[in-house]
Amino acid sequence: MNTQTLHSLTHSIRSGKTMLLATLAVIFFLEEIFLKKYSLAVFLLSGGILLFIVIRRFFFIQHELLLQKNFVKEENLKAELATENLQAPAPFRQKFSSMFLGRIKWDTCKRAASSFFTKADIASREHDTESAKKLLIQAIAMDPDHLDANFRLGILYLNDHEPAKASAMFRKLLEIKEDAEYLFKLSESLAEQEQKEEALTHGLRALELSPKKSCFFAHVGCLYWDMNEKAKAEEYFRKAVELDPKNEECLLRLVEYHQTLGDLAEQQELLRKMLFCRPHDEDLKAFIRGTQEK
């Protein structure tokens, strides 16, 4: 707090009180003289002057005390801020303006991303893959965390045999949120790049998160098959068929596996399951008859 300024205020108040007392003394002295020589009117006039001076000085002192009180508060606040090494907060209007403008920008970007995504969906349905990719890229530019746009773009890259770009999209999605579908698609894109070990890791993690999807088991079975672990692959193919009896790819792999083992009875059983899926397939019927003749 500024001690010198506070002392000057106090001195001003004390000087005012001294001047008031001196004025009262002079008036009382003159009053004694005027009472002897002049009329009552002069006495009343002097009394009025005295009353005016007292009232004026009272309000002046009150004003000085108020200034002193505010000054003390201000100095204490400055001292507190300096002690805690804090900066005075930004004005509320500035904060509100910044928040408001940020909210407007965020909403605008969200709406733009949604619009681009809708247009990309229309382009995909019309089989205009290149336009769909460009629109999805624009959607992601507006909203980098747009999950559907990132996932759809990854799928388009995967379908167009661009596995490196696809895996980059699915990795980004997994940084935002761990999801079985993202893991499965990342595993597929890595398998296409011949990164079997990492693909298997992500495929198994997808099964942990979602153990009821036939396609997940089929994919892991294919990875084991390609890594020449046929017995392990057979376990996953069977699980896939349990979840989806019409999974022809897994049935065919199982037929092939038991054919290499020379297990004719199991092979015929699997072929009958395949015939259930394709009851009008004459080539399959002929193949089954050939195995039965053996």
What are the per-10-residue average pLDDT scores of the chain (294 residues)? 46 52 58 54 64 69 64 55 44 49 71 91 93 93 92 95 95 95 97 95 96 95 94 94 90 86 80 77 69 60
What superfamily does domain 105-210 belong to in CATH?
Tetratricopeptide repeat domain (1.25.40.10)
Q: Please state the domain extents for the chain.
A: 3-83, 105-210, 212-294
Per-residue model confidence (pLDDT) at position 88: 41
Given a contact cutoff of 8 angstroms between Cβ atoms, the answer to whether 220 and 197 are in contact is: no
**Going by CATH, does the domain composed of 212-294 fall within 1.25.40.10?**
yes
Domains 105-210 and 212-294 share a fold: yes
Instruction: Label residue 224 exposed, middle or buried (CB < 10 Å: 0-12, 13-18, 19+).
Output: buried
What region, left, alpha or beta, does residue 194 occupy, with left being phi > 0 and alpha being psi -120 to 50 degrees? left
- Tell me the pTM: 0.62
Q: Which candidate, 161, 202, 160, places its Cα nearest to that of 182?
A: 202
Q: What is the pLDDT of residue 5?
A: 45
Q: Write down the pLDDT at residue 279.
A: 73
What per-residue confidence (pLDDT) applies to 53?
72
pLDDT score for 106: 74
Contact 35, 43 (CB under 8 A): yes
